[in-house]
Amino acid sequence: MKCPACHKLDTRVMDSRLIEDGMAIRRRRECTRCDFRFSTVEETEILNLTVIKRDGRREPYSRDKLEVGLRRSFQKLPITQDEFKRLVNRIERDIQITGRQEIKSADIGDILMKHLKRANQVAYIRFASVYRSFKDVETFQRELHSLLKPARQRRTAKPMADGPRPRLRTQSSAGGHNRRAKR
């Protein structure tokens, strides 16, 4: 790696650490000529992946397009740069796990929606409204209802009925100590 200070090609790695949930490596480097220290980050990149669009066109996968769509969904919502990067990395990991060289844009959208649903429900609804092309308010309401349904089920879940629990009966002895009563 070229030194950014003196442009010598020979630098040595002082330290390496995994970052972003193991999806990238940060390396601390030092120039062997001028002793300038700097950091580099190595990230995985999806290569040789073709996206099949809805109209049948094919185009190379673009991380930038994924990030633009996500940023629109999170517009004016609280998310740190690190959280955003982790989200993108998780989505790309799931895309890579498919093991395919061609993937439908709809499959990428489904993967993205799965992660958005867990990350932020408002961002999920924003993305879903564009991705699923909501035609009317009823379609929007159905999606919102399906999003809220699991939360409602958790709140209205009834505790298990084991029946009444027996109380421990105690009897006072002459010494003032409590002990279990024989049944």
Q: For residue range 79-138, what is the model confidence (pLDDT) as tens digits?
A: 999 899 999 999 999 999 998 999 999 999 999 999 999 999 899 888 888 877 777 778
| Among the listed residues 75, 55, 62, 5, the one whose alpha carbon sits nearest the alpha carbon of residue 35 | 5
Res. 33 pLDDT band, cuts 50 70 90? very high
Supply the pLDDT for residue 55.
Answer: 94
Residues facing 37 on adjacent strands: 30
Q: Which residue has the higher pLDDT, 162 or 31?
A: 31
| Among the listed residues 120, 149, 51, the one whose alpha carbon sits nearest the alpha carbon of residue 128 | 120
Supply the pLDDT for residue 151.
Answer: 57
Cα angle 177, 179, 182 (rounded to 5 degrees) comes to: 150
Q: For residue range 64-78, what is the model confidence (pLDDT) as tens digits?
A: 999 999 999 999 999
Supply the pLDDT for residue 119.
Answer: 92
Assign residue 12 a region (left: φ > 0; alpha: ψ between -120 and 50; beta: otherwise).
beta
pLDDT exceeds 60 at position 164: no
Task: Measure Cα distances from 20 to 9, 26, 99, 118, 149 in Å.
Answer: 28, 10, 22, 18, 32
Q: For residue range 43-56, what is the model confidence (pLDDT) as tens digits?
A: 877 778 999 999 99
CB within 8 Å of 6: residues ≥ 6 apart:
31, 33, 34, 36
Output the six-digit token pair for 104: 């439908």
